[in-house]
Structure 1
Amino acid sequence: MANADAVGAPDFTIGWSIKSYSDGETIPLFVNKVYSDNTQLQYAYAELPFVCPPSGRKQGTGVISGTNVALNLGEVLRGDRIVVSDYELEMGKDEETRYLCSHKVDRAGLRKAQEIVKDGYVAEWIVDNLPGATSFVTVDKSRKYYAAGFKMGYEDFSPTTGRPRFFINNHVTLVIRYHAAPGKDGQRGKKVIVGFEVYAKSIEAGNRDASGIPASIHDVRNGMELTLKKNVTAAAVAEKFAGSSYIPEEIEDVDDDATLTIPYTYSVYFREEEKVEWGNRWDLYFVNNEDSSKIHWLAIVNSLIISGLLTAVVAVIFARTIHGDIKGYKEVGMEEGKLKLKRSKGVRSPRKSAEKGGLLDQADGDVEPDISSDEESLEDITGWKLVHGDVFRAPSHGGILAPLVGSGMQLVLMAIGLVLLSCFGILNPSFRGGFISVGVALFLVAGLFSGYFSARIYKTFGGQLWQKNCIVTATLFPGLLFTTIFILNLFVWAQASSTALPFGTLVGLVALWLLVQLPLVYVGSWYGFVKVGAWQHPIKATAIPRQIPQQSWYTKSIQSILLAGLIPFAVIFIELLFVFKSLWQDKSGYYYVFGFLAVVGLVLVASVMEVTVIAVYIQLCAENYHWWWQSFFVGAGSALWVFLYCVYYYFNHLHIQGFVSSLLFFSYSFLACTVYGLLTGTIGFLTAYAFVRRIYGAIKAD
């Protein structure tokens, strides 16, 4: 999955190892990709037709410029294409102006450059695993913060014609901020890099010396405009526009073989930063986000309030309604699926209290000598107790529900692992691509539990072909994921974007799917089906299904799913704003507040469980025993609201342009909501099953 001609770069890829430099030691600069908030298409910087191509010369570190850096799976999936550049940096050595190259651009390359500038693309360069950043200060000018990346150019408008003009940033000033290395390296005068700032500007191609150095790098009045011009005389212009009051300032060349030469230069400055150490060098990328901590706390308080109200409702259901019903019918037993009242001979038939709905105590001496039976069926029992003979009846299409729950359990375990590793700091921004790579690994390992739960539920539903269920479980969600990614890749490939996955990566993903996940799911399925077996229900289902009465509007499937899903969505709504902003708007930013996310996630899980209990209880009280699928959909109901919010976010907060970018946005949103729905739906299903077993098992026990 890494590039074929990649070179190893352990200090770069690991991310948490300290690299110290001596004065004069070469520091490699890597170029990665360009990206924009206005589109989902990314491009490899080294492959752009208007930048200096790598020369292939050997640098002081022993690597050759143009060599691809070995990437992990996460980096490839996020569109990284990291290449060693020709920029030469030596620790402690300032370079006021240095010439890089002059690159000729044809018409096709010029159009691509104009498109990149027009769409607001930002370039990502890397030094010592730090992304090159544009420096800003807070509103009160008390703190400095970084925004990763720098603009590729800017757009202006002609004062005479009003037409847009595009300028390329062909000069960069690189500021490397360093701090004394810790320990013995620092005593020997070595330094560590704690900041990498890039300041880009556009300088015209003319007024340069023989070596390509501009007369002044501070004169930006005339930038490097992306246009093809032809030198013509004033007489030729007057002749061409004879009789017209408009005389253009410039004439575009119409020759197909015309080119534009873009000179590239750069400056390098090293500055000591005493206040920033290597351990907290990433803090500057998050300073601007610290002001949002109050909003994160608001999200937690909002979640806790909603969850607290739900907890109170569930407590009432358990403590008063269900407990009261069970206590009132504590003399009721279960025999072969029929609810009956046990009575001693010579005791008067019980009467149902109109006030309490329970059984009246029997008066002394009140006997009926003509009773000929020890048991009498209760004909006036109502509510959830009436469906005791059908509540554990296997659902229709259980062969699909079991793999869905198994896949959901796989995602639950993956999500728990990712959040925990992120909270402990193992997954951090310096571990580039680590979140995705570790997520894939956790997903594969969790295939054991996916097969186990799917097989047990499948056998509980009465299934016998566990091998078939195993294959469905192992291919249902991964198959949907791979098929969607493959189809999207066809569109992205056509755009020559680095977002497209290489063919080798696709083959590698298929190999992981078939050679790793499928065997793990098989082992889990075998153990769950053969060794452990089905869950035993406290009550056996009757032979003839009970007729379900007419349902109220709020107990019908669609209405209950939408209403129940709205509550968990309200729990995560505020935190969802930050997640969306990090994913879709600040592609250069990093979502790092996993502590807040973990708390909100716990409250979300509790809310899904409580909402499912309430919804299933209401459904059973309405004498509707089809709760299996309903509990899964109720738990996953908030995924519908999240997707609707994605649509709202697209039209009101994003500026995505083009069909392919829009297709990528909605496809990724659909996949993310599918993952979320499977996860929460599984939680809802397992919670509902535990709840139903508890209440009907309590009746049988009494």
Structure 2
Amino acid sequence: MIFYCMFLLVQKVFVSAAISEIFNVVLKERTRDLYQVNMILDNLPVMRFANQNGLKVQWTGFPIGYSPSKSEDVYIIDHLKFRVFIHKYEGMSVQIFGTGEEGFPCSVKYDPEKMAKIHQYDEVPSVNCPMDLENSQVIREYERVSFTYEVEFVKSDIKWPSRWDAYLKMDGAPVHWFSILNSLMVIFFLAGIVFVIFLRTVRRDLTRYEELDKESQAQMNEELSRWKLVVGDVFREPNNSKLLRVMIGDGVQILGMALVTLVFASLGFMSPASRGMLLTGMIILYLLLGAGAGYAGVYLWRIIKGTSEGWRSMCWSIACFFPGVVFVILIALNFILWGNNSSGAIPISLYFMLLSLWFCISVPLTLIRGYLGTRAEPLTYPVRTNQIAREIPERKYPSWLLVLGEYINGELGFINKKGLGHGCVGPVDWLGFKRPRWDGEM
């Protein structure tokens, strides 16, 4: 019926119940605090429109309720009108896609006796949003409130790739660039002062320590305390150093991909209007930044080992560790989707495409940059490393005990005397509250 009609109108009741004493207080507090409800339909935020001074203003979300300036009562939004724009594609088969949604919230006072006879999701007659307060639903203790919604499907010429255009034209809040730059300058200035003071102090102590002979160093070690006790063990090769270098190399690759993606997305090159562009850009950037991963891993290998032998196996480990883990997880999840005959399963051709991109772009770049990392001059340590590692005393208390104590300390702040917080009471999910067990009352 949607295919041939201009629009289809459906109105149903969501829930009907009485407002309890606790929920009455919560609703009034949330309304006065200007709480908003944001809804998503077909992966698109529901949009509202209003005319202000001859201009058409659009934004997302609607308030829980409102409190008129000349009245002490608080009114709740209990009726929503949705206008869903659909576009029909005709080809081998007719396909319908949602290309936009609009929401019109209002407050309607229903007859409690009539609504008590109607069950959830039953159809009700269409209503017009009242403009006067007498026909609006007031928030009052033990007042019965009925939440209803109305859906109107309208044909639209907006195509699927262009459905985000209306959202991109929304005027957001102005960016206070001066305040941001001012805060950043203060942060960098203070951090620079602290770093310079710390660097000069440590460098002076290390220089004085290096100028002493062995006898003086042995005598001085007896007088040293705190970080100076481990100055000869700071740059010692750690256990599982190869895994550390692999993780650092993959971390450089992932961090570089995230930063470049954020920059391009902020500049508008990866718009949500182009479906899949963000994911495609992330994959391409990850493949290209394999060069940075190979260079970082091999360069750290030379610093720790002091030689470039074994850099090829290091590059292969960096190129295959993280993507291999992701591929194993992806294959396992895809087998589950295939077993359930899900339409979201990835086709086998896409696997071969990703593997070809992986071995033809990412792996060669990792090996090439790894080779260049072997030619780079390694860093030299500012202090000598002792041949014998310093003995580390045993811990008096296990480390997990400290974590458990912090967890308990943080959780106690969220526990109420009755076991429930104010935000956990309420029967309506779309108001932003948690739904308790239904007992017929709010």
Distance in 2, Cα, partners of 1:269 & 1:450: 48
Instruction: For 2:382, give the aligned amino acid.
Output: P
Structure 1 position 526 matched with structure 2 position 371:
yes
Task: Map 1:654-693; keep pairs closer than 5 Å.
Answer: none
Q: 1:286 to 1:507 in 2, by over 3 A?
A: same
| Residue 471 of structure 1: aligned partner | 316
Distance in 2, Cα, partners of 1:536 & 1:548: 26
Structure 1 position 284 matched with structure 2 position 166:
yes
Q: 1:526 to 1:143 in 2, by over 3 A?
A: same
Distance in 1, Cα, partners of 2:7 & 2:209: 92
1:393 to 236, 246, 251: 236
Does the 8 Å CA contact 2:252/2:296 hold for their aligned counterparts? yes
Instruction: For 1:430, give the aligned amino acid.
Output: A
Structure 1 position 444 matched with structure 2 position 287:
yes
Structure 2 gaps of 5+ residues are 9-38, 62-81, 89-97, 104-122, 127-152, 407-431, 436-442
TM-superposition CA deviations, 1:518-558 (whole Å, max 9, x none): 121111222212x225432233322111223466989x699
Instruction: For 2:49, give the aligned amino acid.
Output: V
| Residue 136 of structure 1: aligned partner | 48
Does the 8 Å CA contact 1:146/1:286 hold for their aligned counterparts? no
The alpha-carbon deviation at position 455 of structure 1 amounts to 0.8
Please state whether the residue corresponding to 2:247 is helix, strand or coil. Answer: helix
| Residue 539 of structure 1: aligned partner | 383
Does the 8 Å CA contact 2:253/2:289 hold for their aligned counterparts? yes
Q: 1:383 to 1:330 in 2, by over 3 A?
A: same
Please state whether the residue corresponding to 1:461 is helix, strand or coil. Answer: helix
Q: If the length of structure 1 is used for normalisation, what is the TM-score?
A: 0.34
Aligned length: 296
Distance in 1, Cα, partners of 2:323 & 2:248: 14
Q: 1:502 to 1:380 in 2, by over 3 A?
A: same
Distance in 1, Cα, partners of 2:401 & 2:224: 29
Does the 8 Å CA contact 2:99/2:163 hold for their aligned counterparts? no
Distance in 2, Cα, partners of 1:376 & 1:198: 78
TM-superposition CA deviations, 1:475-505 (whole Å, max 9, x none): 1111111111111112223343343211111
Structure 1 gaps of 5+ residues are 1-50, 53-86, 88-94, 100-119, 125-130, 148-168, 177-194, 201-219, 224-265, 272-279, 342-374, 564-651, 656-702
Distance in 2, Cα, partners of 1:487 & 1:551: 41
Q: 1:427 to 1:558 in 2, by over 3 A?
A: farther
Does the 8 Å CA contact 2:295/2:370 hold for their aligned counterparts? yes
The alpha-carbon deviation at position 424 of structure 1 amounts to 1.7
Distance in 2, Cα, partners of 1:525 & 1:197: 49
The CA RMSD over aligned residues, in Å, is 5.2
TM-superposition CA deviations, 1:80-131 (whole Å, max 9, x none): xxxxxxx7xxxxxxx97599xxxxxxxxxxxxxxxxxxxx99558xxxxxx8
Structure 1 position 493 matched with structure 2 position 307:
no
Instruction: For 1:333, give the aligned amino acid.
Output: E
Distance in 1, Cα, partners of 2:298 & 2:377: 8
Q: If the length of structure 2 is used for normalisation, what is the TM-score?
A: 0.52
Please state whether the residue corresponding to 1:136 is helix, strand or coil. Answer: strand
Does the 8 Å CA contact 1:418/1:438 hold for their aligned counterparts? yes
Q: Which has the larger radius of gyration?
A: 1
Percent identity between matched residues is 20
Distance in 1, Cα, partners of 2:288 & 2:402: 37
Please state whether the residue corresponding to 1:143 is helix, strand or coil. Answer: strand
Distance in 1, Cα, partners of 2:101 & 2:187: 51
| Residue 210 of structure 2: aligned partner | 333
The alpha-carbon deviation at position 383 of structure 1 amounts to 2.9
Task: Map 1:64-463; keep pairs closer than 5 Å.
Answer: 97=6, 123=42, 136-137=48-49, 143-145=57-59, 197=100, 268=155, 282=164, 284-285=166-167, 290=172, 293=173, 315-316=193-194, 318-319=196-197, 323-324=200-201, 326-327=203-204, 331-334=208-211, 340=216, 379-462=222-305
TM-superposition CA deviations, 1:397-435 (whole Å, max 9, x none): 101000110001111221221112112211112222111
Q: 1:314 to 1:551 in 2, by over 3 A?
A: farther
Q: 1:544 to 1:654 in 2, by over 3 A?
A: farther
TM-superposition CA deviations, 1:252-289 (whole Å, max 9, x none): xxxxxxxxxxxxxx975779xxxxxxxx9956325779
Please state whether the residue corresponding to 1:144 is helix, strand or coil. Answer: strand
Instruction: For 2:301, give the aligned amino acid.
Output: Y
Does the 8 Å CA contact 1:405/1:454 hold for their aligned counterparts? yes
Distance in 2, Cα, partners of 1:532 & 1:557: 41
Distance in 2, Cα, partners of 1:461 & 1:310: 31
Distance in 1, Cα, partners of 2:227 & 2:396: 15
Distance in 1, Cα, partners of 2:262 & 2:323: 21
Please state whether the residue corresponding to 1:137 is helix, strand or coil. Answer: strand
| Residue 67 of structure 2: aligned partner | none
